[in-house]
Amino acid sequence: MSDGKQAGALSVVVDGVPLAPDEARALWQRFSEWMEEHRGDLAGFAAREGFKSVHPTVEGGRPVLRASHTEEQRPYAPATTGRGGSRSRQGPRRSDRPNGRKQRE
């Protein structure tokens, strides 16, 4: 496949619109270089590229960089797989409670 949708292919989606494979690879390259020099600074990269936010994810087994001109930047977190119930979207489990559940008092 040459449409950039094969497993493992880098993809970039800007405000819901996929970039062409050449543009996606170039943006991923700049993103990788930025993150090597500025660990965890998604907001800095987004601003440098003219976006309001950038979020790396994994969807369908492939890396996807989601960029937006309107969506707020969220803190850097582990990539999600696009499946429901991801811990990264629910926040960290409370270590002071068994199984992450509230204790009755």
Asked if 53 and 46 touch (Cβ cutoff 8 Å), the reply is yes
Portion of the chain with pLDDT greater than 70, in percent: 65
Q: What is the pLDDT of residues 77-87, one digit of tens each?
A: 765 555 444 44
Domain regions of the chain by residue span = 21-73
Query: Model confidence at 69, in pLDDT bands (50, 70, 90)?
Result: very high
Query: Model confidence at 74, in pLDDT bands (50, 70, 90)?
Result: confident
What pLDDT is stored for residue 1 in this prediction?
Answer: 39
What pLDDT is stored for residue 98 in this prediction?
Answer: 52
